Copies of this chain bind each other. A is one copy, B any other.
Amino acid sequence: MTGSSFGKLFKVTTWGESHGEALGCVIEGTPPNIDINEKYIQKFLDKRKPGQSKFTTQRKEDDKVKILSGVFNGKTTGTPISLLIENVDHRTKDYSDIKDKFRPGHADLTYQLKYGLRDYRGGGRASARETAMRVAAGAIARKVLGKKVKIMGALVQIGKEKINEKNIDWNQVHKNSFFCPDVTVLKKWEKYLLNTRKKGSSIGAIIRIIVKAPPPGLGEPVFNKIDALIAQSIMSIPAVKGVEIGAGFKSAELSGEANADEIYSKNRKILFSSNNAGGTLGGISSGQDIIVNFAVKPTSSILNEKKTINVSGKNTKIITKGRHDPCVGIRAVPIGEAMIAITLADLFLIKKSMSI
């Protein structure tokens, strides 16, 4: 497994299994003299934490982060920052159910195919629990980008229920359990999710991340276009099946005239008549808001019995018990924000290296 690192200069390496001793990450490349402390990082982790509301899993994940290196007297020193979260209850469960069977829709089968063995406890390395460290690293990435760059996420669709784009109010996002920016749909969503949960079912979602006032000039054509790295970083989040920037898939249906974002200037500021591009031209940020949407599939951990095979290849059946999220998309909001922050922080440092 060689893919646990992301970034070239601001580089995040995560490690840890769902039910191992601990989870952690090492963050290389943070510039020195930045204020960082555990409390600041914890704030972001708490947003992702399960058990926050009745709409997310009731599993207890305490997720207390510790800084083990790279910060001295409250300031970054430029050396690698090591973060750690201990897995408190990591040895208590009974895994005889899933030890020898592959849960459909999970990584059980492919880990076995690739590695010939696997840590079956709670999904091991493939568990969404790994994303806790992305959120922690994202908190530090925001500091690298500076206060002026705002990265905001919201849930814009669950199942077939969409928000009304006209009602978007970003100030509402943190006032409800769904990270939803449209207060008019809250009741409907609540009913919908409670019903989904009651049935032991699950449902997918669409998340939007917006970067307000990004620095222009981020992105390294041709393969490390800002679009391309955003796509990689978002698609690397467990359960994500699609990602789009700006008008995204809708741009396929547009004519060149309808899609064009005309450029003009006012008081020496560069402005655009629209933002179908989603803030990027030729793989480089233009300074316009960056707009990203991504789709999260419904979790495969549902209560109805499904066909599968066991490690010997025999046909069998499985039920995935446990307290799971009816809509994992909700908790994907802070994860998506974090991945965008990490991606931009790296491109920001690379851009600085090119300045004359």
Contact = CB atoms under 8 A, between A and B. Distances in A.
Interface string A52-96: 000000000000001111101001011111101000000000000
Contacts of A229: 232
Interface string A298-330: 111110101111000111000000000000010
B68 A16 contact: yes
B113 A287 contact: yes
Interface string A9-46: 10101111100111110101101110000000000000
Size category of the A interface is: 35 or more
A113 B34 CA distance: 17
Interface in A184-216: 196, 201-206, 216
B265 A314 contact: yes
A98 interface: no
Nearest to A27: B15
A121 to B, nearest CB: 8
Given A69-B21, A252-B295, A3 B225 contact: yes
A204 B253 contact: yes
B80 A15 contact: yes
B243 A281 contact: no
Contacts of A15: 26, 68-70, 79-82
B33 A4 contact: no
Contacts of A82: 15-16, 22, 24
A351 B114 contact: yes
A126 B283 CA distance: 9
A95 B124 CA distance: 43
A159 interface: yes
Contact of A4 (B26, B67, B260, B261): B26
Interface string A343-356: 00000011111111
